[in-house]
Structure 1
Amino acid sequence: MTHHAPNLRAEKISGGVATDRRHDSAHKHVTGTAVYIDDMPEPAGLLHGCLGLSTATHAKVLSMNLDAVRTAPGVKLVLTGKDMPASNDISPTGRHDEPVLADGLVQFYGQPIFAVIAETREQARRACRLAKVEYEDLPFFTDVGETDRRNGKMVTPPLKLERGDAAGAIASAPRRISGQMRCGGQDHFYLEGQIALAVPGEDQDVTVYSSTQHPSEVQHMVAHVLGVPSHAVTIEIRRMGGGFGGKETQGNQFAAIAAVAAKKLHRAVKIRPDRDDDMTATGKRHDFLIDYEVGFDDEGRILGADFHYAARCGFSSDLSGPVTDRALFHCDNAYFYPAVKATSAPLYTNTVSNTAFRGFGGPQGMVGAERIIDEVAFALGKDPLEIRKVNFYGVGERDVTPYHQTVEDNILERIVGELEASSDYERRRREIAAFNANSPIVKRGIALTPVKFGISFTATFYNQAGALVHVYTDGSVHLNHGGTEMGQGLYVKVAQVVAEEFQIDIEQVKITATTTGKVPNTSATAASSGTDLNGMAAQNAARQIKDRLIDFAAEKHGVPKEQVVFLPNRVRVGNQEIAFADLIRQAYMARVQLSAAGFYKTPKIHWDRDKGQGRPFYYFSYGASCSEVSIDTLTGEYVVERTDILHETGKSLNRAIDLGQIEGGFIQGMGWLTTEELVWDDKGRLRTHAPSTYKIPLASDRPKIFNVTLADWPENVEPTVHKSKAVGEPPFMLAMSVLHALSDAVASVADHRICPRLDAPATPERVLMAVERVRREAGM
């Protein structure tokens, strides 16, 4: 694996912005000393919880005999939906369709219907198995292909994006193609599972240590279920062992149950489901059936496009509305459609309620866009890369998205052009063609795909953040903000911003656990906006203090404010220099406030969902990847031979962290599109609920040659924190190059005359079936 990054500027302080700084907990991760919730010293009298899961897929609960559960060894409490003190609802969107514990009706196999609290975790688990539940089965379906995709029951209102007359443009186009693509879901497979530890306090108070990306939402949900004010509930999280969106809403249930039990029993309660229960009872990435129709000319220019994205949402709304909305926002990926219509169908199914996952629907939208590019290329007998470049967003009339936002920061042609040259795409495509001509069994394929990803929460009100900064009299700094650390390096990046502002070494900045008791009303750490929002809020807080220090120093020493300059670990005041810590002590003695609450809200953005128009994104992030694969046409097995990535992060705050995010995002995206397959049986049971049946990528699955380069030339046109750009979600979609390289290899068995229409995940079985289908259609 090789990395290429531009030369760093001369380092002024230890760990300021634009320096390669290791993750603040990296050494703890590799030595096993990082403290996660399950590693915390257990409070005296700690009890353990376990969820009782339904064994019916859609049914009325006729009776639930829990007598044997209650009398089982060690059991202290059994909770049902009726035992929730104030509310049995934890719907994050306020649609009141997601119970804490199902009461009278179960809507998916594995839905939690009761909870057992016992002296030990093993006792709670054993007691759960003693329940006797009688059901009256109801009709069910688990797949959106089994229902009316246009008019089926939906968990939340659909969206329509439209610009121009798509139907007319398609009808009058010289060429037309229609088809359907299935795009699978994905389990988050975080290393640390869901967990909550609730510690009761006096009066109404409770503190919950929750593995969550959204502490404020957990706070609200726990307060709602308990029937207490939000100020009585404190949520704290120092770090998660992975989240990927799976801990944005899914932690609410565990935290609420633990808190209810803790307050009822006046003892601390911890709930940590095992992997099987976690995978069975928590939401996944939405899988989609994508219907598409496209009209184009003989040059491959798309004239009109019509998409319909039907999503398996599960039994409740959760975040399916915004997820399916974002799929439509990215049905263009990098391409301009002169006329376009895109509609969503967030469909009800008798499966676990699907939720946020890295990319938040955007990847599924982009896969649809790339499929029509493939269709056009095969219809015209051209290289798909040529069709991609012909349809890129341009300047002027070719810069408006389906949701009527103008693309102002387009760097697609340069990003793709540089990667095409550095990966030697043209030469390698010729070599692959020659190889395939002389290799009857093993075939190779190559593809180069672009990424354009919008950055911001599409729910405009979420685009805000707060931060708290204290400077102590010894010059050390305490930093707290609403962002959560799930391994992605957010904490160290925000600390770098504060260190840079004060011009002090990052070792002087203390990174503290995220808690609702310090920074209130925070947004989820999601939508790739963690650094953008929290970095700016922390910078705002630091600048408030810095401005007070400048005013104080200027007045004390009788110099203009312009002559107070912060230098590495010291401050120049006129013609003298004062150590930063000395200035802080002087300011304290003069009663200067050395604490500040910072705030930031993203400017310019707005969105009218009813009209399907607005500016939902502050800016776009760009990248491109080129992947080469080999497939065995007798078995469908394949190897990723090489991947080259060129990705831009603006003026990177920390290239070491960003490179790690790009590598990890690509591999996780590759898993989604190739090996990670969710399977439900005819009884509605999820069969892929453990590592033995669900295959995430291994280290051995990564590309044999893996070149990752940061583009050092783009600069964010918007005034983000130090002109950096988001890097959490955009790299995930770089993995589309692997799916299309596999498609290219499959197509080679019939000299690229037939579009393989390879669905995702492209498992070896699907690759083999696609090879046979292409051969059959080619009359071979």
Structure 2
Amino acid sequence: MDKEVRQSPAEPAVHRPLPHDSAVKHVTGQAVYVDDMLEPEGLLHVYFGTSPCAHGRIGKLGLDRVRQAPGVVAVLTAADIPGANDISPLHRGDEEILASGEVHFAGQPLFAVAAESRDAARRAARLAEIDIEPLPAVLDIETALERESFVDETHEMKRGDPDAAIESAPHRLDGVLHMGGQDHFYLEGQAALAMPQEDGDLLVHSSSQHPSELQHLIAQSLGRADNAVTVEVRRMGGAFGGKETQAAQWALLAALVADRTGRPAKIRLDRDDDMISTGKRHDFRTRWRVGFDDDGRILGIDFELAARCGMSADLSGAISDRAMFHSDNGYYLPAVRIRSYRCRTNTVSNTAFRGFGGPQGMLGIEQVIEAIAAHRNLDPLAVRRVNLYGGDGRILTPYFMTVEDNVLPELMDELAEAADYPARRGEVESFNRAGGVIRRGLALTPVKFGISFTTAFLNQAGALVHVYKDGSIHLNHGGTEMGQGLFIKVAQVVADEFGVPLEQVRISATRTDKVPNTSATAASSGSDMNAMAALDACSKIKRRIAAHIGAEHGVAEDSVRFDSDGVWVGAQRRDFADVVLQAYLARVSLSATGFYRTPKIHYDRETARGRPFLYFAYGAAVSEVEIDTLTGEYRLRRVDILHDVGRSLNPAVDLGQIEGGFVQGMGWLTTEELWWDEQGVLRTHAPSTYKIPVASDVPDAFHVRIWERGDNREPTIHRSKAVGEPPLMLAISVHSAIRHALTSLAPEGVLAPLDAPATPERVLLCAERLRSGA
């Protein structure tokens, strides 16, 4: 083909604000989730029965009536599991698929029912006769600390002599902060479909963030090798960490039924059971002591973090570690100690949730900043600025990592100016000095969030790219799509590598038989790792094509270039599809696997030193609120956000992540309250009792911008930065603004004692306490 016959130029895809690849399908209902798949012939529906109490010894598990119920085909207990009765992701053996011997939380699965219909399975599960001998239960952090009930050993980070620094400081304060958990409240509940294959193999469709772990756990439970199980995930209707480890239990139940009966089996949890039987964001209690100078500069600080982990370890060790890593947020702490207690309680095992412990660590230090500001009668923004990482050697974290990429000073200054923070702060103070029932609050808070898995071996990703002889491209990688836009971002990268239109790249479901041994899609690193793995695969194919075409034309391999006009062979332009066909006819391999491992990272947990993160993502938010001190009700008047995503791969997707993360964080800190009764039974397990934010909670004045000067010093994919988790912590500004409004009721020098979530009830109680002088 001569240079005049060519494909239409492809507009570069990377850095363009393109829609989500499934956006139209989402809004029209065409997107296929597990429960939307055509049901195969002979499908069985699976459900489960649970423990009614928080801790006890199983006496009788009477299932005769369950087995005799209409439509029931099989009933499984722990005794029917042919392999390991274990779903623990890291601490093998501390959480069972189905309880045997003892139960450890109210809602723990005891048995599974398979029936001809979902309704029949659910009705039958209620017929069980369960006799459990109650045992003493530990339900909260305080009791766990008293009884030294832990899922993991206590950890400590320390730099310098914080005790001496605090004692010698001109000013000292101490305090405590209680933070509630949060339910993931994904739109699609936990779901799985298991399909028997030849030779006893299984194909499992699951709503899971971690197909490879699911594959391993299913194989382990059946007593087989991993290669007997294939897990496929096309998309999830939300996950937020709730489907990283905890999708396993439900997929395992479906797989066990399919294996036992030889029939396809599906499970889909309803909202109540999903909320009761799956883990959540960890509750935390933070105690602190701090010493500081007249300007509010921290000289020494001592943190004690305690997390309610629930009945098993799950990912609590790494989550608690990350809370420690983020207890500095964006602030330099010259002398610091951070202790972490991981409390075992007889409640559902808490798990990953967007931010993975980071939000709990950051909320603690922000309370410290505001307490210092109140004590010194300073604007909290001034105290924040004076404590930021910066020059004069103030660049070392409590875990001895050097902060090399700090942009918070200039980013915060730009936001403060754009949001007119100084003038508005003065207006709010004047409004509050006038007295009255209505009070206002304004706060600007920063975010510094580390990007990488802190468990080093998880920082790896694989990809598989096929180029077909007509020039079309098939893309597969180990990342999962949960609505966050990972698939479109990786496809953009692949399209640009070959210089083809985005429509030429076919996105395919994540499957363990295409890309093996993948890490969970988590830690905000989905694009960072999977796009780089795909890039590696593309590069291999391009080198093979270039070598062949270059030799054919008598030019060096590096003289062959791929761009949006086609393939350049020296000065000659060729059509991509033509070049691909010629390579195929010449028996050049047009398929390649790609791999990526995050560089530079290392961390020694014994010494609490290292570089657990490749880089940091930064952002800041200004929030203004108005509260009614007689009812505790409040409204968000205005929000201004400026967030650094480096050189955005897809500004439209990233902007959506910033907006959504902020609103979800606002829910955690304001309305989403989890409540267990004295027997350890969750009572807030439906939308009627558990309140997530709705559209009316977002103010009309909601100004969100991606920082135009954003970049990444590290060689990430197209110098972009992760965006999944960091924006959630921008919502700390809402909690801080509410506290600012309440502090206007307090005596001078006193910070309003506001825990999280700041529900209207809690705001009212705080206001009354301040008015009464208690």
* Aligned with residue 532 of structure 2, among 527, 531, 536: 536
Which whole-Å deviations, capped at 9, do the CAs of 1:151-201 have from their partners, x for residues lacking one?
621111222111111111111111111111001100000000000100011
| Equivalent-residue separation in structure 2 for 1:547 and 1:654 (angstroms) | 27
Secondary structure of the corresponding residue to residue 677 of structure 2: coil
In structure 2, give the amino acid aligned to 1:224.
Q
Cα drift, residue 15 of structure 1: 5.7
Query: Is residue 2:228 matched to residue 1:232?
Result: yes
Secondary structure of the corresponding residue to residue 596 of structure 1: strand
Contact 1:158 1:321 in 2 (8 A): no
| Equivalent-residue separation in structure 2 for 1:105 and 1:14 (angstroms) | 61
Counterpart of 1:388? 384
Contact 1:51 1:273 in 2 (8 A): no
Which whole-Å deviations, capped at 9, do the CAs of 1:659-680 have from their partners, x for residues lacking one?
0000000000000000000000
| Equivalent-residue separation in structure 2 for 1:373 and 1:188 (angstroms) | 29
Secondary structure of the corresponding residue to residue 597 of structure 1: strand
Counterpart of 1:163? 159
| Equivalent-residue separation in structure 2 for 1:139 and 1:575 (angstroms) | 80
Counterpart of 2:5? none
What are the equivalent positions in structure 2 for 1:182-193 lying under 5 Å apart?
A: 182-193=178-189
* Aligned with residue 661 of structure 2, among 650, 665, 689: 665
Counterpart of 2:505? 509
Query: Is residue 2:113 matched to residue 1:119?
Result: no
Query: Is residue 2:289 matched to residue 1:331?
Result: no
Contact 1:48 1:118 in 2 (8 A): yes
Contact 1:483 1:490 in 2 (8 A): yes
What are the equivalent positions in structure 2 for 1:340-739 lying under 5 Å apart?
A: 340-739=336-735
Bigger drift between 161-170 and 619-628 goes to 161-170
Query: Is residue 2:78 matched to residue 1:81?
Result: yes
Contact 2:463 2:533 in 1 (8 A): yes
Counterpart of 2:93? 96
Query: Is residue 2:155 matched to residue 1:195?
Result: no
Counterpart of 2:269? 273
Contact 1:747 1:753 in 2 (8 A): no
Unaligned runs of 5+ in 1: 1-10
In structure 1, give the amino acid aligned to 2:37.
M
Contact 1:754 1:774 in 2 (8 A): no
| Equivalent-residue separation in structure 2 for 1:690 and 1:275 (angstroms) | 6
Q: RMSD value over aligned CA atoms? A: 1.2
| Equivalent-residue separation in structure 1 for 2:161 and 2:719 (angstroms) | 38
| Equivalent-residue separation in structure 2 for 1:439 and 1:641 (angstroms) | 19
Q: Quote the sequence identity (%).
A: 59
| Equivalent-residue separation in structure 2 for 1:177 and 1:585 (angstroms) | 72
Contact 2:12 2:499 in 1 (8 A): no
| Equivalent-residue separation in structure 2 for 1:433 and 1:165 (angstroms) | 38
Contact 2:375 2:748 in 1 (8 A): no
In structure 1, give the amino acid aligned to 2:242.
G
In structure 2, give the amino acid aligned to 1:715.
D
Which whole-Å deviations, capped at 9, do the CAs of 1:241-293 have from their partners, x for residues lacking one?
00000000001111111111101100000011111000000000001011111
Secondary structure of the corresponding residue to residue 537 of structure 2: helix
| Equivalent-residue separation in structure 1 for 2:714 and 2:600 (angstroms) | 10
Cα drift, residue 569 of structure 1: 4.9
In structure 1, give the amino acid aligned to 2:643.
H
Taking a change above 3 Å as real, the CA distance of residues 190 and 539 of structure 1, as seen in their structure-2 partners, is same
In structure 1, give the amino acid aligned to 2:103.
V
| Equivalent-residue separation in structure 2 for 1:108 and 1:73 (angstroms) | 30
Counterpart of 1:131? 128
| Equivalent-residue separation in structure 2 for 1:55 and 1:329 (angstroms) | 37
In structure 1, give the amino acid aligned to 2:383.
I
Cα drift, residue 562 of structure 1: 3.7
Query: Is residue 2:53 matched to residue 1:51?
Result: no
* Aligned with residue 760 of structure 2, among 727, 750, 764: 764
| Equivalent-residue separation in structure 1 for 2:12 and 2:276 (angstroms) | 42
Contact 1:453 1:620 in 2 (8 A): yes
Which whole-Å deviations, capped at 9, do the CAs of 1:648-669 have from their partners, x for residues lacking one?
1001000000000000000000
Which whole-Å deviations, capped at 9, do the CAs of 1:119-161 have from their partners, x for residues lacking one?
0000000001110011111111211123326x62111122211
Which whole-Å deviations, capped at 9, do the CAs of 1:343-385 have from their partners, x for residues lacking one?
1111011100000000000000000110110111111111111
| Equivalent-residue separation in structure 2 for 1:280 and 1:595 (angstroms) | 46
Bigger drift between 572-581 and 407-416 goes to 572-581
Bigger drift between 332-341 and 750-759 goes to 750-759
| Equivalent-residue separation in structure 1 for 2:642 and 2:435 (angstroms) | 31
Cα drift, residue 425 of structure 1: 0.2
Which whole-Å deviations, capped at 9, do the CAs of 1:530-565 have from their partners, x for residues lacking one?
000001000000011111111111111112334322
Secondary structure of the corresponding residue to residue 645 of structure 1: strand
Cα drift, residue 396 of structure 1: 4.5
In structure 2, give the amino acid aligned to 1:241.
G
Counterpart of 1:6? none
Query: Is residue 2:102 matched to residue 1:105?
Result: yes
Secondary structure of the corresponding residue to residue 553 of structure 1: helix
In structure 2, give the amino acid aligned to 1:121.
R
* Aligned with residue 36 of structure 2, among 39, 45, 48: 39
Which whole-Å deviations, capped at 9, do the CAs of 1:633-661 have from their partners, x for residues lacking one?
11010000000000010010000000000
What are the equivalent positions in structure 2 for 1:186-225 lying under 5 Å apart?
A: 186-225=182-221
Cα drift, residue 717 of structure 1: 0.6
Counterpart of 2:3? none
Unaligned runs of 5+ in 2: 1-7
In structure 2, give the amino acid aligned to 1:179.
G
Counterpart of 1:248? 244
Moved segments of 4+, more than 6 Å: none
| Equivalent-residue separation in structure 1 for 2:294 and 2:391 (angstroms) | 22
Which whole-Å deviations, capped at 9, do the CAs of 1:571-594 have from their partners, x for residues lacking one?
121232111100000110111110
Which whole-Å deviations, capped at 9, do the CAs of 1:709-739 have from their partners, x for residues lacking one?
1112132010000000000000000000000
| Equivalent-residue separation in structure 2 for 1:757 and 1:558 (angstroms) | 76
| Equivalent-residue separation in structure 2 for 1:263 and 1:409 (angstroms) | 52
Counterpart of 2:148? 152
Secondary structure of the corresponding residue to residue 199 of structure 2: coil
Contact 1:362 1:453 in 2 (8 A): yes
Secondary structure of the corresponding residue to residue 646 of structure 2: coil
| Equivalent-residue separation in structure 2 for 1:235 and 1:375 (angstroms) | 50
Secondary structure of the corresponding residue to residue 613 of structure 2: coil
In structure 1, give the amino acid aligned to 2:144.
T
